[in-house]
Amino acid sequence: MKDYLLTLKIQNNYLAKMMESRGIKSAAELHRLSGISQVDIGKALNLKRPAYSSRGLSATASSLCDFFMCEVGDIYPTEHLHNPLDQHIFKAEYAYQDNLLEGEGACPSLLLESNDAQGAIDGMMGYLTERERKAVQMKHGMGGEEESNFKEIGVELGVSGQRTRQIYDKALRKARHYAEKQSQTELLSLKQED
């Protein structure tokens, strides 16, 4: 087992700095001041929705530009004017002796791939049923999915929001069981090496 769990959350620094310059400390506060949906602000902060869609400037980007009296390039990185970020949260495990600075300047997804974390996530997802996997992916915005609530996931799965929560909770229990099984397997292999 590694010593540290590193969680990296990528956010739109352009928008975050614009908020900070106006003394706005959270998405909730920006929502109260601007009237823009908190969900839409969250998607802009997490780069889950680009500034432009196939129909032009999105309503959220337009509203943010109007509120901050700025151009879209002032609140969105160039790379994400037309493309969303596939995944904005990355987790990786590190041992004390690992050099965390080796990945400095690297794309976060490359940092994740350089670690065994992606393999562990893939293994855990393979342990789940298709329905459970879909619920986890949609809830956490994995695999290019947008983060969704249980009602939205339920629509996709053709079940109620309450049933979706049950499916998701079962998936988490199975994931914990899988992780425990993997840890036990690692311990046994370490004991056999001794």
* Per-residue model confidence as pLDDT tens digits over 26-72: 889 999 999 999 999 999 998 888 999 888 999 999 999 999 999 99
10 Å CB burial of residue 193 (0-12, 13-18, 19+) is exposed
pLDDT at 112 over 50: no
In a domain, 147, yes or no: yes
Q: How confident is the model at residue 96 (pLDDT cuts 50, 70, 90)?
A: low
- For residue 143, give the nearest of 170, 125, 163 by alpha carbon: 125
Residue 90: per-residue pLDDT: 72
Provide the sign of the torsion angle of the four alpha carbons 26, 10, 100, 102, taken in this order: negative
Q: Which residues pair with 52 in a beta bridge?
A: 57
My answer on whether 19 and 68 are in the same domain is yes
Please tell me which residue, 126 or 28, carries the higher pLDDT value: 28
Q: Are both 76 and 130 inside the same structural domain?
A: no
Residue 9 confidence class, pLDDT cut points 50, 70, 90? confident
pLDDT at 105 exceeding the cut of 70 = no
Closest CA to 139 of 116, 93, 172, 100: 172
- Structural domain tally of the chain? 2
Top mean-pLDDT range of 4-8, 123-127, 146-150, 182-186: 146-150
Residue 108 forms part of a structural domain: no
Picking from 59, 80, 101, the residue at the C-terminal end of a domain is 80
Least confident of 5-9, 41-45, 84-88, 186-190: 186-190
Kindly state whether residue 131 falls inside one of the protein's structural domains.
yes
Residues 13, 67 within the same domain: yes
Q: Give the residue with greater pLDDT, 134 vs 111.
A: 134
The 10s digit of each residue's pLDDT in 130-189 is 898 888 888 888 766 678 899 999 998 999 989 999 998 888 888 777 777 766 666 666
Domain annotation covers residue 95: no
CATH of the domain at 134: 1.10.10.10
10 lies in some domain: yes
Does the residue 37 lie in any domain?
A: yes
Q: Which carries the bigger pLDDT value, residue 90 or residue 108?
A: 90
**Does 94 have pLDDT greater than 50?**
yes
Tokens linked to 34: 């601007």
Out of 80, 95, 128, pick the residue that ends a domain.
Answer: 80
Within a domain: 167: yes
| Amino acid 109: pLDDT | 44
Domain-embedded: residue 46: yes
Strands 89-94, 52-53: pairing is unpaired
Co-location of 67 and 134 in the same domain: no
Cα 62 to Cα 67: distance, rounded to the nearest angstrom: 9
How far is residue 19's CA from residue 17's CA, in Å, rounded to a whole number? 5
| Same domain membership, residue 71 and residue 131 | no
Q: Is 120 in the same domain as 189?
A: yes
Q: Residue 75 above 70 pLDDT?
A: yes
Q: Which residue has the higher pLDDT, 36 or 118?
A: 36
- Which domain range does residue 68 map to? 6-80
CATH code assigned at 48: 1.10.260
10: nearest Cα among 69, 78, 106, 85: 85
Q: Are residues 128 and 67 in the same domain?
A: no
69 with 122, same domain: the answer is no
26 with 74, same domain: the answer is yes
127 in the same domain as 66: no
Query: What is the structure's pLDDT at 52?
Result: 93
